[in-house]
Amino acid sequence: MTHESPHREPLISGRKTYRQITQDICSPILGKPGKLWYIVISVTTLVFLYGLSMIIYTLWKGIGVWGLNKTVGWGWDITNFVWWIGIGHAGTFISAILLLFRQKWRTSVNRAAEAMTIFAVICAGLFPVIHMGRVWLCFYVFPYPNIRGPLWVNFNSPLLWDVFAISTYFLVSLLFWYVGLIPDLGTLRDKVASPLKRKVYSWLSFGWNGSAKHWERHESLCLILAGLATPLVLSVHSIVSMDFATSVIPGWHTTIFPPYFVSGAVFSGFAMVLTLMIITRKLMNLKDYITIGHIEAMNKVIILTGSIVGMAYLTELFMAWYSGVQYEQYVFMNRMQGPYAWAYWTMMTCNLGVPQLFWFKKIRRNVIATFIIAIFINIGMWFERFVIIVTSLSRDYLPSSWTYYKPTFVEVGIFLGTLGFFFTAFLLFTRFFPVIAISEIKNIMKSSGEYENRK
């Protein structure tokens, strides 16, 4: 038996019964979507289609239509890749690490965050693939017996490690999300009216009948997946960071990169979760489940991970000076004063400055302020990757090849397209799957529900 201190904030507010919870969370799926939903999804789909056309244009014409050049071989493409991968991390963090740390508040946000993870990883995976140029040869990256000589498959390359890291990550996240969904799909199967829908949900729920045996297997599988996913939270972004840190390029090669990237990933991921959930809880009337307390808890994670990232920025700066290596010193002077100084200071303001406002409880518990700060962080974390990738490349060891990199409309279009895809996918998700894990929220109602706890 667990005991919950009366001094803790309830995680479910209002007078809820189990039946009420099911109704609240299932109603968007059972009812018809409103006008607003149709308008928004039309816009996001259009943006997605625009991005798709830009991808087709790139494939047709070649990578030359991008702004990349001989000096700057990685630009918006890899920036977007790292940004999207980072966003995915919040989902895994919430569902795996917070599960192990027995954080009950995770139950309200884990489902949506995991869905977000999957969509974000899809967006991320797109970029390295199209960056290859000849996409039809992308199977070259997979290790299988071939006669192409010693270069492929190159096990020494962090880029290959990436292939494994990200595909494993995608697979485990997908499994974790789906396994968690099974009991809720069973609930939906019993609720929907149309026979076709019932058939589909019935098939998706794998014949779930809620017996004790089913629950036991379900829970042990969830725990095993949480155990597997926990090292993944650390390993995926560590390996992404090694794409840079193993190179002998000042500004890229620094030992702090793996943990610093992981922390930055969780930081940006939580900002995106907040961006989505603040809108979702309002439009779908979920304020009783995603309470101010939940938002505050997520803001605390943001202040922690954001400050770790800030500490890493300052450590890098100090070490660049301390190293006494002129290249290291130059890279940071260049970031602060060079042609990309505007990007560097945007990054510093958005990541190191603005989130510090969360030290104030009033701001932490203010929905609008949280939303605005979350947007700042989304922008700042994109710029962090841009600053790391582009400033270091644009001024390398050979001053004669120094150059300035600007994206073309094609790269911008592809990035917008992934945003379009991401939001379209999320909007569809809210209509077909419960955005909050019904079974898990019922699990904590006795201990953490406002009404139950006060009885």
Partner 1 sequence: MGAGLLLVFLGLITNHEKFWSSWLLNGFYFTLIALSGTVFISIHTLANSGWHTAISKIPEAIIKFLPISAVIMLLLLLGTGNLYHWTHVEEGDTILLGKTSWLNLPFFIIRMILYFGLWIFFSYKLINISLKEEEEGGLEHHRNRIRYSAIFIVLFAITSSMASWDWIMSLDPHWYSTLFGWYIFSGLLVSGIAVITVLVIYLFKNGFMPWINENHFHDLGKYLFGFSIFWTYLWFSQFLLIWYSNIPEETVYYAPRMDNYPVLFYLILVLNFAIPFLVLMTRDAKRNIKYLVISCGSIIIGHWLNLYLLIAPSVFHEHVTIGFSEIGMALCFGGLFMFVVFRSLSGKILLPKNHPFLEETFHYTS
Please tell me the distance from the alpha carbon of residue 378 to that of residue 387, in angstroms, as a whole number.
Answer: 14
Q: Quick check: 454 binds partner 1 (CB under 8 A)?
A: no
How near is the Cβ of 225 to partner 1 at its closest, in Å? 16
Identify the residue whose tokens are 């790391």: 388
How near is the Cβ of 12 to partner 1 at its closest, in Å? 17
Q: Which of 19, 70, 102, 454 binds partner 1 (CB under 8 A)?
A: 102
How near is the Cβ of 3 to partner 1 at its closest, in Å? 4
Q: Which of 198, 253, 287, 431 binds partner 1 (CB under 8 A)?
A: 253
Applying CB under 8 A, the span of 33-41, 79-87, 190-198, 250-258 interacting with partner 1 comes to 250-258
Q: How many residues bind partner 1 (CB under 8 A)?
A: 38
Site for partner 1 in 336-365 (CB under 8 A): 359
How near is the Cβ of 322 to partner 1 at its closest, in Å? 6
Applying CB under 8 A, the span of 23-31, 179-187, 197-205, 306-314 interacting with partner 1 comes to 306-314
Q: Which of 122, 228, 234, 341 binds partner 1 (CB under 8 A)?
A: 234
Residues 177, 114: contact at Cβ < 8 Å? yes
Q: Quick check: 315 binds partner 1 (CB under 8 A)?
A: yes
Site for partner 1 in 148-207 (CB under 8 A): none
Applying CB under 8 A, the span of 22-30, 181-189, 242-250, 410-418 interacting with partner 1 comes to 242-250
In the numeric block, which tokens belong to residue 182? 């099974």
- Helix 257-283, helix 367-386: angle, nearest 10: 140
Site for partner 1 in 81-100 (CB under 8 A): 100
Residues 377, 354: contact at Cβ < 8 Å? yes
Q: Which of 257, 270, 332, 371 binds partner 1 (CB under 8 A)?
A: 257
Identify which of 455, 446, 450 has the alpha carbon closest to the alpha carbon of residue 15.
450
Distances (CA, A) of 343 to 78, 382, 383, 389, 403: 16, 10, 6, 12, 16
Whether residue 410 has a cis bond before it, omega within 30° of 0: no
How near is the Cβ of 277 to partner 1 at its closest, in Å? 21
Nearest residue (CB) to partner 1, 100 versus 372: 100
Q: Quick check: 215 binds partner 1 (CB under 8 A)?
A: no
Site for partner 1 in 319-338 (CB under 8 A): 319, 322-325
How near is the Cβ of 116 to partner 1 at its closest, in Å? 24
Nearest residue (CB) to partner 1, 248 versus 368: 248
β-partners of residue 12 are 449
Nearest residue (CB) to partner 1, 250 versus 420: 250
Torsion angle defined by CA atoms of residues 114, 116, 120 and 123, in that order, rounded to the nearest 10 degrees: 120
Q: Which of 248, 399, 454, 455 binds partner 1 (CB under 8 A)?
A: 248
Q: Which of 229, 245, 284, 374 binds partner 1 (CB under 8 A)?
A: 245
How near is the Cβ of 2 to partner 1 at its closest, in Å? 5
Applying CB under 8 A, the span of 46-54, 253-261, 415-423, 431-439 interacting with partner 1 comes to 253-261
Identify the residue whose tokens are 């989902």: 91
How near is the Cβ of 332 to partner 1 at its closest, in Å? 12
Applying CB under 8 A, the span of 73-81, 131-139, 234-242, 277-285 interacting with partner 1 comes to 234-242
The contact mask relative to partner 1 for 34-53 (x = CB under 8 A, - = no) is --------------------
Single-letter amino acid code for the residue at 402:
W
Which residues contact partner 1 by CB under 8 A?
1-5, 7-8, 100-102, 231, 234, 238, 242, 245-248, 253-259, 300, 307-308, 311-312, 315-316, 319, 322-325, 359
